[in-house]
Amino acid sequence: MPSTTSESQTLALTPDNLWTTPEQCLASALFSSALAALGLLTVLSRDFAYDWQPVSNALPYRTATAVLCGLFMMALAAALLIRRTEDLAAQLLLPFLLVWFALKVPAVIAVPNIEDVWLGLGEIGMLLGGGWVLFARLACIDRSTLLGRLTGGPGLRIARILFGVAIIPVGLGHLCYADVTASLVPAWLPFRLGLAYLTGFGQIACGLGLAFSIFPRVAAWAETTILTLFAFLVWGPGSWFSPIPKLAGTPSGPRFPLTAFLITCLIAASSLLIASTLKPKRRSTT
């Protein structure tokens, strides 16, 4: 008689048992939409996403590579929404995000004493965590293989820990550069510097909560809320058409704030994907 454990593991990987809640469906749709929009912006601008994709200017055929990268992101986003192709898309998405993450590593090695480079690494690490959730849920790989052990329940745990650890340097960035963070807060909000510190400490708490499974669902939802507010209050449509750059030293025009908005939305969708893997605890009726 076959093992019931083996049967349940197999069932967990079948397409009919993947996105079973509105929360999970919404998270996947938002991730795909943000990825597609970022890909379209990359194609239209024929360039990579500024410091979020630090590709060297010395790269041969850099413009063509950027356009291909944008088209690839758009194709991945579409494939993630189609049942027949979501498995392949998830398997291609993870190495793509790993390469994206690796682009941030040289700066950390070169100047590890500058918090800003760790902040950048953390942002893409959070994005990688969201992509890992999709890989763990959608990739149909034999569990006996090395890659197979990175899917299912073990893969989701890796994704949550990775996401939690990655949040911490982002939160620290809000504290180390509190004045810069405060300048990004809309002027109509009071206590802007206090809000900068509050979000910094809040993100660190969220990161620790996810990394060590301390109220992880609350931490994931809190982080999703922070990122969503940051996307719309800081990098919302008002910043796209402002003649003055929102962040000092950044290029004028709509492309930079629009890129920042889409990246933040993509990371917020990753946070929602993390939250969707955590079921609320049911109170005992006894």
Running DSSP on this structure, what letter comes out for residue 17?
G
Question: Rounded CA gap, 50 and 53, in Å?
Answer: 6
- As a whole number, mean pLDDT of residues 137-164 equals 90
Over 90: is that where the pLDDT of 157 sits?
Answer: yes
Cβ atoms within 10 Å, residue 264: 21
* pLDDT attached to residue 18: 59
- Using CA atoms, how far apart are residues 94 and 150, in angstroms rounded to an integer? 11
Q: Give tens-digit pLDDT for 232-244.
A: 999 999 999 988 8
Q: What is the pTM of this model?
A: 0.90
Over range 109-117, report the average pLDDT.
95
Does 188 score more than 90 pLDDT? yes
56-105 confidence digits (pLDDT tens): 999 999 999 999 999 999 999 999 999 999 999 999 999 999 999 999 99
pLDDT of 5 reads: 41
Per-residue pLDDT, 22: 84
Q: Which amino acid is at 191?
A: F
Largest CA distance in the chain: 70
